[in-house]
Structure 1
Amino acid sequence: MEQRLHKSWTSLQQAVRIVLSLLIVTRYMAVGGEERVTRQGRGLWLFKPSLPSSLTQHVEMRDFRLKCFGLMFLVILVMCSKLDGCEGRKGRHWRKQKSPYSSLARKKGKNGGGHNRGSGGGGDYLSPALSPTPITEYPMKTAMFNVIDFGAKGDGITDDTEAFQAAWAAACKVEGSTVVVPAEFEFLVGPISFSGPYCQPNIALQLDGMIIAPTDAKRWGSGLLWWIEFSKLQGISIQGSGTIEGQGSVWWTTTESDVDPINAELSMKLPQIKPTALRFYGSYNVTVTGITIQNSPQCHLKFDNCEAVQVFNMTINSPGSSLNTDGIHLQNSRDVMIHHTNMSCGDDCISIQTGCSNINIHSVECGPGHGISIGGLGRDNTKACVSNITVRDVNMHNTMTGVRIKTWQGGSGSVQSIRFSNIRVSEVQTPIVIDQFYCDRSSCKNQTSAVALSGIAYENMKGTYTVKPVHFACSDTSPCSDISLTKIELEPLQEHYHIYEPFCWQAFGELYTPTVPPIVCLQNGKPASKPILSDDDLC
């Protein structure tokens, strides 16, 4: 193509040079003609008395110029015809060249399609409407693996567990692949693990349909800690507008007579161990967004030993009466961000356990439930380490507590650098809680050691409570230190005999602004003596 254009340009330049030469010659001839006509007018044409000399000169010059312009026009026509002929030959040469479209067209012609060989058309004529033949074997651009293509029925009755496993096995081999759970289907899926030590990174589960848990006791064996698990993955995303339905109501009851309501002929009861609906373990760069998790047998969403986690624009939903149904449970995880999420459940909306650091929670709706909690920590004399936690811009309605830190007696380790800011509470029993005597049964053994709490800030908390505004119950041997309160305005929902005053025990810190109600029980400054820390206490 470039060679053809170069030759055409060269020919055009030659034509222009010829035309310019003719113009120069014409001008020279015109000047010479004028001189000759002038000389003729001086005496050579005196034998033509019928014409005046000026008219004779005009006629002669007009005839001469017409002849010159005619000659120039003839030369230009000749050059144009040569250029057209050259282009025509080049056009035939172009048709002889192979191109992907022409070769594809000839291949298609062998199958009955191809060139237009009808009347009036040449044998080599390519129809303008002809499109390339699709390539039958090509690499997947989007790497989509739809569970329907792997045998899933999506009728809510047929067990689709194997189809989900097969789709995952295929997606696991392709980096950036997506397992598709399409909308308008209900997939019955039993306990399943999408494990990935050898999977390619950046796999997504596009959940637009519904996944429902079985209620057949045989599917759960002697008990499992999880229903759906993703483990040891690099870059895993759960996204979409679908729902994970745990059907947890059959697990929440504690009556001895409870049996599987779906298959009444089965005499086996559901196991005592209740599974978490969705669990991530040992994974990096995890995202959960858009989906709904509801009615989990126990915790709805759990992250254990994970790093770089994002949870946003999702919904967690179960009744406030459902037992032990935490919304989001974090354990041994760091660099976690949870935001723009709505949670209603029967336990903590968000539970932060040992081994967590750099947790940022904001723009969350919580209620009903037990609020947002750090702990319980130090159970069974264990060590707990939690640091750099920020909870801000949160609305809580009809919860047992607002923001809470709870530890068991006898534990070790530390909780430090905690910030609760811009919290709005409505009809919350106790908005601010530190409880270092936490016990979830009728009685617990008194022990002296405790997880050390320090650097805890409460800022701009407003709203209504129904029982007590503040409860600080800290350890005798390891008092709470560096507690700060700023712009705390908590009003009782209504005045009645169940309302209690703020409570403090071994709590030290500072009031940076007046509080409502006045929290005069907080001891100013630091404890008189610092607890002696062993190596087990250091994090």
Structure 2
Amino acid sequence: MKNHHSLMLLCIVMLVICQNLGNVEGRYHFHKKQKSKTSNIVSPAYAPSPEDPISQPPDYPPPVPSDQSYAPAPSDMSDPGNSTTDCIFDVRSFGAVGDGDNDDTAAFRDAWKEACQVESGVVLVPSDGTFMITSTIFSGPCKSGLVFQVDGVLMPPNGPDCWPKSDSSKQWLVFYRLDDMTLTGTGTIEGNGQKWWDLPCKPHKGPGGSTLPGPCESPALIRFFMSSNLVVTGLRIQNSPQFHMKFDGCRGVLINRLSISSPKLSPNTDGIHIENTKSVGIYNSVIGNGDDCISIGTGCSDVDIEAVTCGPSHGISIGSLGVQNSRACVSNITVRNAIIKDSDNGLRIKTWQGGSGSVTGIWFENIQMENVRNCLIVDQYYCLSKACRNQTSAVYLTDVTYRNIKGTYDVRSPPIHFACSDSVACTNITMSEVELLPYEGVLVDDPFCWNAYGTQETLTIPPIDCLQDGMPQSLAENSLYDC
């Protein structure tokens, strides 16, 4: 009987041990090419000085910017880089070489395919390599919590002559149909843009200033398309052939602590471009490039931009909107606690004649200007050629606030320029604590206004006597402005 009890006890102990072993094994995901599971996911390196204007980003999606009382607590934002997941797919384990010359595309696609199929999977680009891949679409849907972590250098082929003929020349990295995905790391995404910038086609100027008619099909570096609940944080992104980062048809985007850079004269190299995208937060980032540091296209709403340093660049732009008589809708955009320096424009809204729709609920607050042309500009006559003609319809601009905008401007242009449509006035423009002085030279005290209505809550420097009080007597059919 005693032996019988001992045998039963031994069976129970063995059963418990087997179950525990099974649970441990179930937490790991092995691939036949994988060499090691010792890699750790680390949060992006970022050590701001005490003077840096650090803003604590909210969890996505960010609040509606018009809610100025929102004050996120430090616990509102969790750092995806602190994940301790065991599902790490190092691209070297899939055959990536990382010498900057070999094509590592196949390894990246294989690693993505595996990571996509598990919860909190991580595609890891290790810090000890430079990885070249060709134009690739990383598509979903995938399991939630997917992380694409770049700790080394990731780059496309070097210029148009090296670009595979079978690949799209309009985009390089595309993330498509994803939900709850993070792009992060301590590394660099290098665009190898110089040879694209030298193409002798518009808007590029080739060697010796030569230019040929027709657009250039230079690739955007990173594109998120039809995706939601996205986080992009910590990376250095530089020298894109065209736009550095685009978001099309997305919802719930959090961008935090990015460095985006390209030369001042690099053409069409917008830093961050969003269109048809809602609930966006852009925080604590430094952007210097050859075009808009942030551009906001049609279909965008609830966009919150804070603690961004912009320049050299073409400033922060809404538009262009309404091209080819199209309808454009933009609402609830906030830019605050930002620095714009050495830029061709500051805060810009640009629309084409002949468009429809509206731009409404725009709030610019606590902006420091340093040597900026066209600090505050509304241009409803935007045109890229001499062939544009006057049209009666326009995108309706209303409810725009400029509050505590101070600094210096380049005297080659008036610091304030509100050129609104002949037939559709701009309304409800609010000016408060706007003080702009010349960076060098003599004070330019003649801001330009055309068909612009609004209120001055405080005296403006320079004085803006051309802003009309009240509202225009009539507007065109309201249906043109419905969004």
Q: Which amino acid aligns with 2:459?
A: P
Aligned mate of 1:386, from 330, 333, 338: 330
* In 2: Cα distance, 1:430 partner to 1:294 partner: 26
* CA displacement 1:342-398 (0-9 Å, x = unmatched): 100100000000000000000000000011000000001100000000010000110
Counterpart selection for 1:509 from 454, 470, 483: 454
Residue in 2 that maps onto 1:482: 428
Check if 1:213 corresponds to 2:156: yes
Deviation at 1:471, TM superposition (A): 0.3
Q: Is the 8 A contact 1:353 1:376 kept in 2?
A: yes
The question of whether the paired residues in 2 share the 8 Å contact of 1:178 and 1:204 is answered with yes
Residue identity opposite 1:139 in structure 2? R
CA distance, structure 1, for counterparts of residue 243 and residue 387 of structure 2: 25
> Alpha-carbon deviations, 1:224-263, whole Å to 9, x = none?
321000011111100111111110011111338x9x9xxx
Match of 2:195 in 1: 250
For residues 158-237 of structure 1, the aligned pairs below 5 Å read 158-197=102-141, 199-215=142-158, 216-221=161-166, 223-237=168-182
> Which residue of structure 2 aligns with residue 492 of structure 1?
438
Equivalent pair of 2:316/2:346 in contact (CA under 8 Å): yes
| Change over 3 Å in CA distance of 1:217–1:309 after alignment to 2 | same
Question: Match of 1:97?
Answer: 9
The aligned runs of 1:30-179 (5 Å cut-off) are 97-98=9-10, 137-140=25-28, 142-179=86-123
Matches within 5 A, 1:453-492: 453-467=397-411, 468-492=414-438
Contact kept, 8 Å, 2:157 with 2:163, in 1: the verdict is no
Deviations 1:409-430 (A, max 9, x none): 1100000010000000000011
* TM-score for the superposition, normalised by structure 1: 0.72
Partner of 2:43: none
1:451 to 389, 395, 402: 395
| Change over 3 Å in CA distance of 1:173–1:489 after alignment to 2 | same
1:494 & 1:437 partners in 2: Cα distance?
A: 29
| Secondary structure of the corresponding residue to residue 421 of structure 2 | coil
Give the number of the structure whose alpha-carbon radius of gyration is greater. Answer: 1
Q: Does 1:359 align with 2:303?
A: yes
Q: Which amino acid aligns with 1:233?
A: L
CA offset at residue 313 of structure 1? Answer: 0.7
- Tell me if structure 2 keeps the 8 A contact 1:210–1:245: yes
Question: What residue is the counterpart of 1:430 in the other structure?
Answer: 374
Alignment partners' CA distance in 2, 1:220 and 1:313:
35
Alignment match, 1:120:
none
| Structure 1 residue 143, shift from structure 2 partner | 1.1
Say which of 284, 289, 296 aligns to 1:340: 284
Amino acid at match of 1:156: G
Rounded to whole Å, the distance in 1 between the matches of 2:12 and 2:124 is: 35
Query: How many Å separate the matches in 2 of 1:276 and 1:192?
Result: 12
Matches of 1:365 and 1:94, distance apart in 2: 73
Q: Distance in 1 between matches of 2:389 and 2:234?
A: 44
**Would you tell me which structure has more strand in proportion to its own residues?**
2
Name the SS for the 2:473 alignment partner.
coil
Question: What is the rounded CA distance, in whole Å, between the counterparts of 1:223 and 1:324 in structure 2?
Answer: 18
Q: Cα 1:191–1:223, aligned 2, differ >3 Å: closer, same or farther?
A: closer
Secondary structure of residue in 2 paired with 1:169: helix
CA-to-partner distance for each residue in 1:61-105, whole Å, 9 max, x for gaps? xxxxxxxxxxxxxxxxxxxxxxxxxxxxx9xx8899338877899
Query: Is the alpha carbon distance of 1:101 and 1:451 closer, same or farther for their aligned partners in structure 2, counting shifts above 3 Å?
Result: same
Q: Which amino acid letter does the alignment assign opposite residue 143 of structure 2?
A: Q
| Aligned partners of 1:229 and 1:280 also within 8 Å | yes
Bigger Cα displacement from structure 2, 93-102 vs 246-255: 93-102
> 1:205 Cα shift?
0.5
Q: How far apart are 1:222 and its partner, in Å?
A: 7.4
Distance 1:221 1:250, change over 3 A: farther
Q: Aligned in 2, Cα 1:273/1:100: closer, same or farther, shift over 3 Å?
A: farther
Residues 16-49 of structure 1: CA deviation (Å, up to 9, x unaligned): xxxxxxxxxxxxxxxxxxxxxxxxxxxxxxxxxx
Letter in 2 for 1:491: L
- The answer on whether the counterparts of 1:191 and 1:220 sit within 8 Å (CA) in structure 2 is no
Contact 1:223/1:272, CA 8 A, preserved across alignment: no
AA aligned opposite 1:98: L
Q: Does the 8 Å CA contact 2:335/2:363 hold for their aligned counterparts? A: yes
> Aligned residue for 1:8?
none
Question: Secondary structure of 2:164's match?
Answer: helix
1:529 alignment partner, SS class:
coil
Displacement after TM superposition at 1:443 (Å): 4.1
Listed as ranges, the gaps of 5+ residues in structure 1 are: 1-89, 108-131, 261-270
Counterpart of 2:93 in 1: which secondary structure? Answer: helix
Deviates more, 1:302-311 or 1:522-531: 522-531
Question: 1:487 & 1:241 partners in 2: Cα distance?
Answer: 39
The answer to whether the 8 Å contact 2:27/2:86 transfers is: no
1:477-516 Cα offsets, whole Å, 9 max, x none, are 101000000000100112249x462110000000001111
Report which structure shows greater RCO (CA 8 Å, sep ≥6). 2
| Letter aligned with residue 517 of structure 1 | P
Residue of structure 2 in register with 1:419 after alignment? 363
CA distance in 2, matches of 1:469, 1:136: 65
Match of 1:301 among 227, 245, 269: 245
Matched letter for residue 425 of structure 2: P
Deviation at 1:446, TM superposition (A): 1.7
Tell whether the 8 Å contact from 2:433 to 2:459 is kept in structure 1 after alignment: yes
Contact 1:223-1:274 at 8 Å conserved across structures = no
Q: Are 2:270 and 1:326 aligned?
A: yes
- Once residues 402 and 100 of structure 1 are traced to their aligned partners in structure 2, the CA distance between those partners, rounded to angstroms, is 73
Provide the aligned C-alpha RMSD in A: 2.7
User: In 2 relative to 1, CA 495–176 (structure 1 residues): closer, same or farther, beyond 3 Å?
Assistant: same
Q: Which moved more, 1:94-103 or 1:521-530?
A: 94-103
Partner of 1:485, secondary structure, is strand
Q: State, as a whole percentage, how many aligned pairs show the same letter.
A: 45
Over 3 Å counting, the alpha-carbon distance change for 1:218 and 1:459 in structure 2 is closer
Residue 409 of structure 1, aligned match among 333, 341, 353: 353
Structure 1 counterpart SS, 2:405? strand
After TM superposition, the structure 1 stretch with the greater mean CA deviation from structure 2, 290-299 or 442-451, is 442-451
Paired residues of 2:135 and 2:167 also in contact (CA < 8 A): no
- Counterpart contact for 1:313–1:340, Cα < 8 Å: yes
